[in-house]
Amino acid sequence: MGFNCGIVGLPNVGKSTLFNALTQTAAAQAANYPFCTIEPNVGRVAVPDPRLDELVRIAKSQKEIPTQLEFVDIAGLVRGASKGEGLGNQFLANIREVDAIVHVLRCFVDDDIKHVEDSVDPVRDAEIIETELMLADLDSLERRIVPLEKKAKNGDKEAKAQVDVMTPVLAALRDGKPARTVAFDDDEANRIFKQLGLLTSKPVVYACNVEEASTAEGNALSAKVFEMAAREGNSAVVISAAIEAEIAQAWAATRRGRNSCRPWGWRKPAWPASSAPATTCFT
């Protein structure tokens, strides 16, 4: 079974550009105006794994089917989205089922690319998005708990178990804390918690979108995001979505020209493996 990631962030920060880089396509329209994406873009990429190559070799398998990562690129969220600002928050339903959230944060300065908050501050932006995700979770739980409480009062055990999980999560959300801060120590409660599909219960990877020159080391803005991620127990990576998308598309075009990675056995490309597209074939 593959792993699914939902890509979130403010408008115009590079979400679709990153989606195109990851999927080696130009499938998602990426353009310099907020709310360019309206309908979600869904793409899958194969994850290269040298261990699988070795198993295929030993077992002399006819086919090698690598695991897949699915990415869902959705419309940008803005401050007040839960109250209908911008495009609202209805499209978050498209990422309720994902395993992890990739949160794209603008860490590049470029006066030609409009920022909806009119200044570049990735930590503030992260808080805006996290607040909107918490409000979406709060709204969804508040609607779901009412009928369950009635059932629980009438002796429905499953409903009672769900209410027992939802109640501390609601308290945390009302207190401005994400659902992931609530811990349960029994398996059944954890199963119910996972089934709630709360956006703020999912692990987050902050993708710091920096200018090309800072791809290797990051910059002062991405350093602040790394500090925030460490405090929260989340992770962060540095990317330059624009240059990654360019490389990925050039690489995909070359590969189409050659038909496939096999049977020629390609040489390692000039750029380091860490910045190579996910479906790059190394031999």
Ligand X SMILES: Nc1nc2c(ncn2[C@@H]2O[C@H](COP(=O)(O)OP(=O)(O)OP(=O)(O)O)[C@@H](O)[C@H]2O)c(=O)[nH]1
User: Contact residues for Mg ion (CB under 5 A)?
Assistant: 15-16, 36-37
Minimal distance, residue 186 CB to ligand X, in Å:
40
Minimal distance, residue 196 CB to ligand X, in Å:
26
Establish if 12 lies at the interface with ligand X (CB under 6 A).
yes
In 3D space, the residue among 68, 137, 71, 138 whose CA is nearest the CA of residue 104 turns out to be 71
**Helix (H) or strand (E) segment spanning residue 82:** none
Complete edge-to-edge strand list for the sheet that includes strand 68-73: 41-46, 68-73, 3-8, 100-106, 204-209, 235-239
Establish if 34 lies at the interface with ligand X (CB under 6 A).
yes
* Binder of residue 71, out of Mg ion, ligand X, none (CB less than 5 to 8 A by kind): none
3-state helix, strand, coil split of the chain in percent (to 5) is: 45, 15, 40
Establish if 35 lies at the interface with ligand X (CB under 6 A).
yes
Establish if 13 lies at the interface with ligand X (CB under 6 A).
yes
- The single residue among 8, 21, 23, 37 that binds ligand X, judged by CB under 6 A, is 37
Q: Is 226 helix (H, G, I), strand (E, B) or coil?
A: helix
How far is residue 104 from each of residues 41, 76, 195, 207, measured CA to CA in Å? 15, 10, 25, 5
Minimal distance, residue 73 CB to Mg ion, in Å:
6
Minimal distance, residue 21 CB to ligand X, in Å:
9
Q: How many residues bind ligand X (CB under 6 A)?
A: 25
Cβ closest to ligand X, residue 38 vs residue 171: 38
* Binder of residue 108, out of Mg ion, ligand X, none (CB less than 5 to 8 A by kind): ligand X
Minimal distance, residue 17 CB to ligand X, in Å:
3
The stretch among 9-17, 56-64, 224-232, 246-254 that binds ligand X (CB under 6 A) is: 9-17
Establish if 75 lies at the interface with ligand X (CB under 6 A).
yes
130: left (phi over 0), alpha (psi -120 to 50) or beta: alpha
CB-based contact 199:137 (threshold 8 Å): yes
Cis previous bond, 263, omega within 30: yes
